[in-house]
Amino acid sequence: MTTSTKADSAAKRDVTKLQRAIVDGLEDVKAHDIQVFNTEALSPLFERVIVASGTSNRQTKALASSVREAVKTAGFSVPRQEGEENGEWIIVDCGPVVCHIMQPAIRQYYRLEEIWGETPVRMKIGAAKPKPAELAAKKLAAKKAVDKAAAENTVLEKKPAAKKAAAKKPAAKTTAAAKPAAKKPAAKSVKTVVVKPSVPRTAKAGTAAKPAAKRAPRAKA
């Protein structure tokens, strides 16, 4: 590969990177109807023309400022700017890429798409890179989501053990309930009344009746 070919490839990569930075800057401030055109065959002064709309002077100025900031952040030189005074049509000259920020009535009147739109460039519009603050917020939200999911999984893992403990409790209650039933007195049994033999009145208490003494037989004459 020759030196000129390498230089051409590097220049094309730079143009692609520059046009992406400009589109990202426009999308950051919600530009309308962004169009990118390849003008290599139409002008030796620049290779791309980008046209976008802003609904008010305030928005067009904000769009131009955002484009300048995005180009500087991407590592390119600070672009020149024209038309910021009235805000109806602001031109941001980034060298090989020229960006036209116009209000709808001005854009419709001048119809730059008919002049430079012979070769439109297909780009993924709506894929602006988030700002560092937005990236940090997204990372924090993702981390919180992961932590929350982990906590929920931990709770779910602990639940079966809790259920087992809860399942054991009724058995303990049943045992406790059975104890009073065991303590209940049995049905009263019929008492057996033992009738003691009556003691003769003549006999003193605590002594048994003495047997009558036998008479001695009479002697025969």
Q: What is the pLDDT of residues 192-216, one digit of tens each?
A: 555 555 555 544 444 444 555 555 5
Task: State the residue for tokens 């030196």.
Answer: 3
Residue found by looking up tokens 């401030």 in the block:
29
Whether the CB-CB separation of 55 and 43 falls below 8 Å is answered with no
Residues 101 and 70 sit within 8 Å (Cβ to Cβ): no
Q: Locate tokens 């490839």: which residue?
A: 9
Structure tokens at 15: 């143009």
Structure confidence at residue 146 as a pLDDT band (50, 70, 90): confident
> Which two structure tokens, joined as six digits, stand for 108?
């419709």
Place of tokens 């590097």: 10
**57-66, 98-107, 177-186: least confident range:** 177-186
Which pLDDT score, from 0 to 100, does residue 109 have?
Answer: 96
More confident: 69 or 206: 69
pLDDT band at 123 (very low <50, low <70, confident <90, very high): confident
The token pair at 18 is 């520059």
**Beta strand 89-93 pairing with 80-82:** antiparallel
How many Å apart are CA 118 and CA 58, to the nearest integer?
31
Using pLDDT thresholds of 50, 70 and 90, give the confidence band for residue 8. confident
Give the closest residue to 100 by CA, choosing from 83, 77, 123: 83
145 contact partners, CB below 8 Å, separation of at least 6 = none
Q: Give me the amino acid identity at 161.
A: A
Does the structure show a pLDDT above 90 at 88? Answer: yes
Query: Has this prediction a pTM greater than 0.75?
Result: no
125 with 26: CB under 8 angstroms?
no
Q: Does the pLDDT of residue 51 top 50, yes or no?
A: yes
Helix (H) or strand (E) holding 38: strand 32-38
Minimum mean pLDDT range among 52-66, 92-106, 139-153: 139-153
Mean pLDDT score, 42-57: 94
Each domain of the chain, given as residue ranges in start order, spans 12-129, 130-167
Under CATH, which architecture does the 12-129 domain have? 2-Layer Sandwich (3.30)
Residues 104-114 have pLDDT tens digits of: 999 999 999 99
Percent of the chain with pLDDT over 90: 44
